[in-house]
Amino acid sequence: MNDQTVSRQTFDEVMVPCFSPAPFVPDRGEGSRVWDTAGRDYIDFACGIAVTSLGHAHPELLKVLHEQGGKLWHIGNGYTNEPVLRLAKKLESLTFADRAFFANSGAEANEAALKLARRVAFDRHGEQKAEIVSFTQSFHGRTFFTVSVGGQPKYSEGFGPIPQGIIHLPYNDIDAAKRAIGPQTCAVIVEPVQGEGGVIPADPAFLRALREACDAHGALLIFDEVQTGVGRTGTFYAYEQTGVTPDILTTAKALGNGFPIGAMLTTEAIAAHFKVGVHGTTYGGNPLGAAIAHKVVELISDPAVLAGVRARGETIRAKLAHLNARFDVFKEVRGQGLLIGAELNARFAGRAKDFNGAAANRGVMMLIAGPDVLRFAPSLIMPAADLDEGFARLEQAFEDVVGAR
C-alpha cells in the first residue's frame, strides 16, 4: 500500500482502536468552517471539544506560529524562555494566581494540581491528610490518577487497583459535601460547569459551601477549568462568575487554540511546596506553545470578545428554543456562555448519537455529552452567518431524525 494513500479505513488498519472517528476525514479549516478530504464543508459547533475557540487558521495565531517557529521551538526546563515568562505574567494578571506551571494537556495540569495538593497536605499536616473529594459524573483527564479522581467509573474500571484516598459525592449536593469534607481531606476538585458529565452548571451556593468547608478543614479547593476556561463561559475564567476563588485552577483546551498546552495556576504560598525536582515535564512550557497561548489569551481576554461570547450564547439558546418549538425534543437547555447542553426528552432518551450523526450528514460538526445531551461549544468569535447556516442545516438534521413537522 502507498503510505501516502490514506482514508477513514486506514484508521482501522493502523491506529489503536480507542476512538471511533466519524466516517469523513477533516482536511482543512478556516474560521468556523471545516472541509473534508472530499471537499465538503461543515459548520463547526464542536471546536475540537471546546479547543479552537478562535476558529481555525486565525491569522494572528498563524503569524505567531511562524515567527516563534523560526526562532525556538523547544529548549527543556533546564532553561527558561521569554514566551513562557510573558504567558505566566499575563495569566497571573488576569486571575488570583501568583505562580504558574505549564504542561501539555488538561490531564497533566490536573495531575500536577492533585499532586501539589497532596504535597501541601503532607508538608503541613502529615501523611494522614490525603483524601481527595471529587464528584460523580466529573471528568478530569485520562491519566490513571486523574481518571480515578473523575467521577465516571467506566473510564477507570478494568485497569487494576486504582489510587486510594479518593471519594465521590453528588454534584451540587451541599449537605453531602459538608458531611464528607473533614480533617482527612487534602483537596476538593470541581468543575464550575461539568462538561463531559452533561453540561451541568454548579450552583454558586454549592461552590461557596465547598470553599467554606475547605477553609474550615485546611483543604485546598481546585477548580478544573480545562473546558470552561479561556472565555468559554463569558468571563475569562468561570470562577469569576461564582463569587468563589479557588486555591488552584487548571486550564488547557482553548489555551493554545489547538496547540497542546495546559497550565496549573496557584498562589505563591502553595506553589512553594513544589520545590526543585518534586515535579516536572519535558515539553511543558515550551516557547512555541507559550508564544501561541500568549496571543490566544491576549485576544480572548478582550472585554468585547467576552461580551460577544455572552451574546452568541443567547442567540444559540433562542435558536434551540425555535428547534424545540418545532420538534419537541429537549427536556432542558443549560450551560453558560458558549458551553451549552441541550438534554433530550424522554421520547429521544439515549439518542444523542443519532442527532450527532444526522448533523454530520447535513454538514454540521457538533458534540454530545453522554447519551442524552447535545453539546455546543463553537468558536467564541463565530460569524453570525455561520451560526445561522449551522442552525439551518441542523434543522434539516432534526427533520431526518424526528420527521418533518
Which residues are documented as binding site for N(2)-acetyl-L-ornithine? 142, 281
Chain center to CA of 163: 23
Cα 54 from Cα 41, distance rounded (Å): 18
- ∠ CA 317-318-322, nearest 5°, is 115
Alpha carbon 292 to chain centroid, angstroms:
18
Residue 377 and residue 338 in contact, taking contact as beta carbons nearer than 8 Å: yes
**CA dihedral sign of residues 221, 227, 229, 231:** negative
Beta carbons of 139 and 171 less than 8 angstroms apart? no
Cα distance between residue 369 and residue 357, in whole Å: 14
* Neighbour-count burial for 155-185, b at 16+ CB within 10 Å, e otherwise: bbeeeeeeeeebebbebbbbeebeebbeebb
Grid-cell match 495531575, residue found:
111
d(CA 45, CA 382): 9
Strands (E), 165-289: 166-169, 185-190, 193-194, 200-201, 220-224, 248-251, 262-266
For 305, list phi and psi in degrees, rounded to 5: -65, -45
Per-residue buried b or exposed e for 46-81, using 16+ beta carbons within 10 Å of the residue's own CB: bbbebbbbbbbebeebeebbeebeeeeeeeeeeeeb
- Torsion from C-alpha of 379, 240, 316, 259, nearest 10 degrees: 20
Residues with catalytic roles: 139, 224, 253
Cell of 318: 433562542
Q: Are 224 and 140 in contact (CB under 8 A)?
A: yes
Binding residues are 106-107, 139, 142, 224-227, 281-282
Report how far residue 392's alpha carbon sits from residue 1's, in angstroms, rounded to the nearest whole number: 41
Q: Where are the alpha helices (DSSP H) in 80-188?
A: 82-94, 106-125, 144-149, 174-180
